[in-house]
Amino acid sequence: MSIRLSFFGDFVASKSANISVSKRVKDIIESSDIAVCNFEAPIDGDFKAFDRDGPRVKQLAQTPSLLKGWGFNVVQLANNHMLDYGDEGCTATLKAFEGIVTVGAGSYEEAYSVKTFEVKEKKIGFISCVHHEFGVWDTKDTDQKKGTAWICHHLIQKRIFEAKNDVDFLIVLPHAGIEEIDVPLPEWRELYRCFIEWGADAVVGTHPHVPQGWESYKGKPIFYSLGNFYFDFLSGQHPFWNKSLVALLEINEEGFINFDVRNVTFADNNIDEDLSDDTKSHNEYICDLLRNKYMDFVNEQSLKLWNDYNNWLTRGLGNISFKLRFVDTLKSIYVSLFKSSQKTLLENCLQCESHRWTILRIQKLIKKNRRHVKN
């Protein structure tokens, strides 16, 4: 008898819990033995905000009950917002999901543990991990009580190796990448393939807020980003911000994993399956990018981010630059004079692999272009 798994993208409901899912979406969830969702931020409460740059995100207290009511029975919590409201916010969120499997957050041991779900006499294991933003457990020797599993921690590889002796199938759920681009950075692509080589049976990624391509590697599926399942806190610029993939895996009796893709979209407080031709064409486009002109596209998209990174680095260093656009210059003056978050902004650019790798890539491309002009 086969085992069906469905994976949905980033979920944030910060404004209303009166969210409806169509019958077609509900059928996907209910027909799955295991339904997984990335719960992108802690629930609301009287919790102290964590000292970090960028937006702090929280969700309505009713949202865990909402997801459980729809039929989700595995929730990944290793994401860049789970510690936005400190240990208390994370603790409250874990408690709200009691009764189902939560993976990737909690104490040091809990965050790095493989969580299992037994179905039809098979044990399915899950590892959830996030790139290095605020709240990760990069070392056990800290004052923090709760945190998330860091994707580049040595324990991730160790846990994958160990899990193969304890579970029948292992799924890795990474949360990493640059937001709103259509393909992963090559460094993440290489690491996700390493997860397969180390023993994972599938890799299903989140974080970039838009769908990215997927592929089969050594006969195992890798989905680089599912996109936003439902996200009402911010609205991005990418045309597929409110559209996402649903990764469907089916483990047959011989232990072979078949996979398929469905699409969902949200508008206002409604989530429905997306059957449009434009979405089908976009699916073909993002997968084709992985096969053709992949590095050209990555380099092009990286260079487009340079103004943002230059601004962030300047602000983070506390310097005022007059080489920026006038509006950004005024922002850098304001931040240097009045904002204490500039240090955490610089810290994030340096410690978060997605940002650091992109900055280094941009610098190499700029140097290469300068040499080409001189020659």
Q: Would you list the DSSP string of 86-137?
A: HHHHHHHHHHHTTTSEEESEESHHHHTSPEEEEETTEEEEEEEEE-S-TTEE
Identify the band that residue 158 occupies on the pLDDT scale cut at 50, 70 and 90. very high
Is the per-residue pLDDT at 372 higher than 70?
no
CB environment 152-174: b (16+ within 10 A), e (fewer): ebebbeebbeebeeebbbbbbbb
Per-residue pLDDT at 322: 44
What pLDDT digit, counting tens, does each position of 177-192 carry?
A: 999 999 999 999 999 9
Model confidence band, residue 325 (pLDDT cutoffs 50, 70, 90): low
For the residues 44-66, what does the mean pLDDT come to? 90
Instruction: Say what the pLDDT of residue 122 is.
Output: 96
- Mean pLDDT for the chain overall: 92
Q: How confident is the model at residue 276 (pLDDT cuts 50, 70, 90)?
A: very high
Residue 317 has pLDDT above 80, yes or no: no
- Structure-model confidence comparison of residues 342 and 262, the more confident one: 262
Q: What percent of the chain has pLDDT over 70?
A: 91
Q: What confidence score (pLDDT) does residue 265 get? A: 98
Is the domain spanning 3-293 CATH 3.60.21.10? The answer is: yes
- 337 pLDDT tier (thresholds 50, 70, 90): very low
What is the reported pLDDT for 342? 59
Q: What is the mean pLDDT of residues 232-251?
A: 95
Residue 78 near residue 31, CB atoms below 8 Å? no
- The domain segmentation of the chain, as residue ranges, is 3-293, 305-374
